[in-house]
Amino acid sequence: LLKAGREELETGVSADFGIFNDWRLGASLRMDNGRDFGGDPRFQGLPDIPSTLRARISTGSSLGERWSWSTSIDKDLLGRRGGSRLSAGLGYRHPLTEHSYWDFGLGATYGDKTYLQTHYGITPETAQSVGRSPYTLSSGWENMRANLQYTHVLNEHWVLFGGLDLSRMLSAPSRSPLVGRKTTHSISAGIAFRGKR
């Protein structure tokens, strides 16, 4: 929504560079809040995932008038078992008017061994202490996502939006005993206010 009707922006503490006419390169820092089991008896004794600072570098380009692709990599900078992730996506924009459009996107995320083990695994040491079976992962695909969003720019500051997001866990993470739903969805709608560029 920050970029609707404007140039694309990275979120977080960021910098954005135009490297070629149709290419973008972005860099940002963002907080990852980790995970707190919050006393859930299903996960009794399992260690929480600490918060950390992640660095993210992204790039992307248009593929003609309506298609675009993007990819990014982010990494835990504080060594708190956050590991690294690689994300890639393909997008299609269908304009309705000068100020409104539909966006459709497909994407997937790949995690390294450290990231997937921290978020979906149970180490042998932890398993022994809590009386559960260990679950170990190597690097691999984490999930696939699809989204559909409608955006209408009212003016420089106000934007209406609404959409549907679907996510499906893949491969080893989907079989983790820490995963409940393998497929999740969300519906969003609202109005957003933006400051000056």
Q: Is the pLDDT of residue 9 over 50?
A: no
Instruction: Name residue 92's beta-bridge partners.
Output: 67, 104
Name the token pair of 153: 């720019």
What is the total residue count of the chain? 197
0.75 surpassed by pTM = yes
pLDDT single digits (tens) 34-92: 888 777 777 777 888 999 999 999 999 999 889 999 999 999 999 999 999 999 999 99
* CB neighbours of residue 86 within 10 Å: 17
The whole-number average pLDDT for the span 146-159 is 94
pLDDT single digits (tens) 114-139: 999 999 999 999 898 888 899 999 99
Under 8 Å between Cβ of 38 and 122: no
Q: How confident is the model at residue 2 (pLDDT cuts 50, 70, 90)?
A: low
Nearest residue to 141 (alpha-carbon basis) of 165, 168, 106:
168
The whole-number average pLDDT for the span 95-105 is 95
- Please write down the HEC assignment for all residues of the chain: CCCCCCCCCCCCEEEEEEEECCEEEEEEEEEECCECCCCCHHHCCCCCECCEEEEEEEEEEEECCCEEEEEEEEEECCCCCCCEEEEEEEEEEEEEECCEEEEEEEEEEEECHHHHHHHHCECHHHHHHHCCCCECCCCEEEEEEEEEEEEEECCCCEEEEEEEEEEEECHHHHCCCCCCCCEEEEEEEEEEECCCC
Q: How confident is the model at residue 107 (pLDDT cuts 50, 70, 90)?
A: very high
pLDDT single digits (tens) 172-187: 999 999 998 999 999 9
Which has more confidence, 54 or 1? 54
